[in-house]
C-alpha cells in the first residue's frame, strides 16, 4: 500500500512545485496603469454610431448602384481625396497680404497707403535692417501699382495664384514664390530679397502695359 501511494505523492509534490514556479511574476504579463483607457473607450463608442450609420447608408445605396457597395466606397474615397487636395492647394497659395497687422508692427495699415508711400516705407525698413518688412512693403507697393493701372483689382486680398494667371509673368511668379517663402514659410529675408523686389517690379509693370485690364475682373 505504501509503495502504491509513493509515486502519487511524488507526482503531487511535483505539480505543486511547478505551480509555485509558474505563479512567479516573471511568467505573467505585467499590469500597467491605463489612465486613458476609459476615455479612449468612450471615444470609440461615440465614433461607432456614425460609422455604423455610414456603413448602412453605403450598403443601402450599393443595392441600386452598378458595382454595388464596392463602387460606392470607391466614389467616396475619390471624393475625400479631391476635397483634401483642394484644401491643400488653397492653403499652399496663401494670400498676398503684404504687411503684418498694424497692431503687431505699430505701422499704418497698408491698405490706407498709396504705392509711393509704401515704397518710401520699404526703403526705410531696408535701411534699418528690417528686411522681411521691406519685402512685404515692396511687394504690396507693386500690387498697388498694378491696381492703379487696373491690371488687377482688390490687390490686398487676391491670392497670388490668381494674380499670376492674370499677369502670365515668370518674373512675378518668382517674386511671389519668394514672398510666400518669407512671409508664410518663415524663410529669413535678406537685403538681396528686397533689392530683387526693387529690380523686378518695374519690369513687371512695364510688361503689364501690353495687356491693360488683364485680371481686372475676378
pLDDT bucket at 189, cuts 50 / 70 / 90: very high
3-state secondary structure of 95: strand
In sequence order, which residues have a C-beta less than 8 Å from that of residue 104 and are 6 or more positions away? none
Q: ∠ CA(205), CA(206), CA(208), 5° rounding?
A: 65
Between residues 200 and 95, which one has the greater pLDDT? 200
Q: ∠ CA(141), CA(144), CA(146), 5° rounding?
A: 115
pLDDT in tens, 170-181: 999 998 899 999
pLDDT in tens, 70-127: 887 788 888 888 877 776 655 544 454 444 444 344 555 555 688 899 999 999 999 9
**So what's the pLDDT on residue 215?**
46
Whether residue 214 contacts residue 151, with contact meaning beta carbons closer than 8 Å, is answered with: yes
Q: What percentage of the chain exceeds 70 in pLDDT?
A: 63
Take residue 84 and report the three cell numbers written for it.
Answer: 483634401
Q: Where are the alpha helices (DSSP H) in 63-169?
A: 68-93, 102-105, 115-127, 131-148, 160-167
The b/e string for 126-162 (b: 16+ C-beta within 10 A; e otherwise) is beeebbbbbbbbbbbbbbbbbbeeebbeebbebebbb
Nearest-Å Rg of the Cα atoms of the chain is: 35
The alpha carbon dihedral of 152, 153, 157, 158 has a sign of negative
Amino acid at each position: 500500500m505504501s509503495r502504491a501511494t509513493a509515486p502519487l505523492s511524488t507526482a503531487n509534490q511535483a505539480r505543486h512545485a511547478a505551480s509555485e514556479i509558474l505563479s512567479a511574476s516573471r511568467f505573467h504579463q505585467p499590469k500597467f496603469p491605463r489612465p486613458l483607457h476609459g476615455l479612449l473607450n468612450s471615444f470609440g463608442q461615440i465614433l461607432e454610431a456614425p460609422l455604423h450609420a455610414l456603413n448602412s447608408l453605403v450598403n443601402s445605396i450599393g443595392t441600386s448602384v452598378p458595382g454595388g457597395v464596392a463602387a460606392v466606397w470607391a466614389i467616396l474615397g475619390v471624393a475625400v481625396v479631391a476635397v483634401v487636395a483642394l484644401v491643400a492647394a488653397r492653403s499652399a497659395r496663401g494670400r498676398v497680404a503684404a504687411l503684418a497687422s498694424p497692431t503687431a508692427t505699430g505701422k499704418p495699415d497698408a491698405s490706407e497707403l498709396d504705392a509711393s508711400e509704401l515704397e518710401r516705407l520699404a526703403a526705410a525698413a531696408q535701411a534699418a535692417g528690417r528686411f522681411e518688412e521691406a519685402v512685404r512693403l515692396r511687394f504690396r507697393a507693386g500690387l498697388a501699382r498694378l491696381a492703379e493701372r487696373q491690371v488687377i483689382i482688390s490687390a490686398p486680398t487676391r491670392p497670388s495664384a490668381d494674380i499670376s494667371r492674370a499677369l502670365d509673368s515668370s518674373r512675378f511668379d518668382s517674386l511671389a514664390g519668394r514672398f510666400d517663402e518669407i512671409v508664410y514659410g518663415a524663410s529669413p529675408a535678406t537685403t538681396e530679397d528686397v533689392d530683387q523686389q526693387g529690380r523686378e517690379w518695374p519690369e513687371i509693370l512695364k510688361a503689364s502695359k501690353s495687356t491693360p485690364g488683364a485680371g481686372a475682373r475676378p
